[in-house]
Structure 1
Amino acid sequence: MKPTKLVRKGAPTLEDVARVAGISPMTVSRALNSPQQVRLATVAKVKAAISATGYIPNAQAGSLASNRSRLIAVVVPQINNNMFVDTIQTLNDTLSAHGYHMLLCVTGYETETEAETVATLLSRRPDGIVLTGIHHSSQLKKVLLQAEVPVVEIWDMTPTPIDMLVGFSHEKVGARVAAYLAERGYQRPGLIWTDDRRALQRKQGLLDALAAQGISPQVDAPIALPALMQRGREACAQLLDAHHDVDVLVCSSDTLAQGALMEAQARGIDVPNRLAVIGFGDLDFAAANFPAISTVRVDRHHMGQLAAEQLLNRLRGNAVEHPIIDLGFEMVPRDSG
């Protein structure tokens, strides 16, 4: 007996989905492109039929019909930096719950690369864009203004954003850390710092406030990006070898602070009685570290949620009551100093 020959009929169509779901093709189309206009039970039927048939919706056709791509482009400098991960995750979760998909792009810290990336993204017709920081090239700003796409900038603060903003003042963070050092009586700080723009803003705020107190850092150990724990440890070793009287290390991130603490412990240095260590970010491990890391807390999850809500409000045609949101920050004293 000859084996039965399988006949390939081609890819499943929207009509196939409609037939399996027992509804009209028009209703299937509406459930895919405007699910908020269709009963939940009908949307569930369509999803089940899509799963059964293996149908792949034509997102481009849907976007042409509705003038919406359901894509939100999110541009960050790094994804190997834990500082951005929680914000990205909450952005994605909030957008996904409302039928949008996140298109994530990593640009590094060069404004020219960011401008080229966003120009490419705009060819995909995203419904909105989230940018990290407020310092962009004039070319990028011009392109965004011409595109008339809702934009949210995050992780920084300015009275003149491109469109909307959720962030905080890095200069004020630096000033608050300086005040904390004064409260604790530290007089001989050393800095372990990366050279990205936002970290340098915090550093300048710290230096200005320390200068007002008549204090100059003993040493400044610059760190190449990314801010790895090993680099924090190496910088701590370099700093302690050259300056034995440093009484506090201020680090531009919790990751660097954790590395510095490892080096201090390896040398048998009493933390915080002999040497204090301060971080930034309140990353997940900071409270669980031994000793727990004193740091500055920024609510990264809330930042992502607020940015997504700003975009969603604009996309629904609603007025955005607060286009500029200062998220603020909190100094968190712990065992490291």
Structure 2
Amino acid sequence: MDHKINSSRSGAKKKATMQDVATLAGVAPMTVSNCYRVPDKVHPQTLARVLEAAAKLGYTRNRIAGNLASGRSQVVGVLVPSLENSNFIGMIQGLEDRLHQLDHQLMLAVTPTADRELDSIRTFIERRIDGVVLTDVQHSRDTVDLLRNARLPTVETWSLKGPFIDMGVGFSLYDAAFDMTNLMIEAGYRRIGFAGFTPASTERFLERQRGFEDALRRANLRHDVHAYTEQSEGFAGGRITLNALLREEPELDGVFCGTDILAAGMIFECMRRGWRVPGRIGIAGYGNYQIASEITPKLTTVATPGYEMGVAAAEMLVGRLVGAAPAPVIRDVGYRLISGASF
């Protein structure tokens, strides 16, 4: 014979509701709701009393019901091509920290290819995310059409060079590379090469390369000494690109590296060769990764504000979602040249 189980007799515990919390705290259910939605608008003593009651009862907020009522999920998606780049990690952390303050959550996808990016965006849209943060401004036509047709608030990062799908936050990759190369020229370097990752067609690297080339053109110096390696090579890429650059220009006296990883790998190779840095060769990096200040000599590099970019992207998206006063659709977070001892 089948028997129905009585939850009260079996020891099953009923899930606490908002009404239970309100009763224990001695407030209205709407006050409990406000404590989670707009805590800064609730009196601190009331907020503390409600949160204490919720903790005692093991209450957790039912976001689904609220999402159905508001039509919003309070979730933002972010897509990055890799987690090997510490600057992308910084951007993700900035997004997470600011979104948490703004009562939103983050959903992450790693998308090394255009197809993976498109698939992830489709999944995000199916999950009813409120907005999306993309890396770079280089996307497939299908991705651009999908986001525009879905009318999904979008922030593209790491570049100020559009056209943008919706909003953008970044800094001038061109200016950062131009200024660093010009700094090397002012220091007396005349045969400078550029080391980067393949594919060389990636817009973020192309902008750096253009800045590098134009600074050399202005000084009437050779600007076509380039070498590339796969990102998967890591520090070994420094050795690989240095060897390639020397084949192109045997009198090479300086290198501007597209990332600090390549710059550090190049310094390691110079140590193996017994070359002084600077002295035999000067090396500049890009990114201000943790290794930049730990390696000897300390790298002269470009500090790229990944964390600040994430904070700005979060504010732009949530501001759009809550109908805040219109803000610039493109935000420049700037960059800094960090002086080291590598050239």
Map of 2:291 onto structure 1 = 285
Map of 1:157 onto structure 2 = 160
Distance change in 2, residues 1:261/1:192 (3 Å) = same
1:239 CA drift (Å): 4.9
Map of 1:179 onto structure 2 = 182
Residue aligned with 1:285, SS: helix
Contact 2:288 2:302 in 1 (8 A): yes
Mapped to 2, the partners of 1:174 and 1:227 lie a distance apart of: 23
1:105-120 pair list within 5 angstroms: 105-108=109-112, 110-120=113-123
Q: Tell me the amino acid that sits aligned with residue 86 of structure 1.
A: G
Mapped to 1, the partners of 2:59 and 2:131 lie a distance apart of: 27
* Alpha-carbon RMSD: 2.7
Mapped to 2, the partners of 1:176 and 1:20 lie a distance apart of: 62
Question: Residue 79 of structure 1 is aligned with which of 77, 83, 97?
Answer: 83
The alignment status of 1:245 with 2:248, answered yes or no, reads: no
Distance change in 2, residues 1:60/1:218 (3 Å) = same
Residue aligned with 1:142, SS: helix
Mapped to 2, the partners of 1:233 and 1:324 lie a distance apart of: 38
Gaps (5+ residues) in structure 2?
Answer: 1-8
The alignment status of 1:132 with 2:135, answered yes or no, reads: yes
Residue aligned with 1:187, SS: coil
More deviation, 293-302/209-218: 209-218
The alignment status of 1:188 with 2:191, answered yes or no, reads: yes
Residue aligned with 1:286, SS: helix
**Residues matched between the structures, number:** 332
Map of 2:66 onto structure 1 = 62
Mapped to 2, the partners of 1:7 and 1:114 lie a distance apart of: 47
Contact 2:194 2:212 in 1 (8 A): no
Taking only the aligned residue pairs, the percentage that are identical comes to 35
Mapped to 2, the partners of 1:266 and 1:25 lie a distance apart of: 70
Mapped to 2, the partners of 1:230 and 1:21 lie a distance apart of: 61
Distance change in 2, residues 1:268/1:242 (3 Å) = farther
1:252 CA drift (Å): 0.7
Mapped to 1, the partners of 2:40 and 2:339 lie a distance apart of: 46
In the superposition, the TM-score normalised over structure 1's length comes to 0.87
Map of 1:31 onto structure 2 = 35
Contact 1:81 1:226 in 2 (8 A): no
Gaps (5+ residues) in structure 1?
Answer: none
Contact 2:80 2:110 in 1 (8 A): yes
1:162 CA drift (Å): 1.7
Mapped to 2, the partners of 1:38 and 1:275 lie a distance apart of: 62
Residue aligned with 2:290, SS: coil
Contact 1:81 1:227 in 2 (8 A): no
Map of 1:146 onto structure 2 = 149
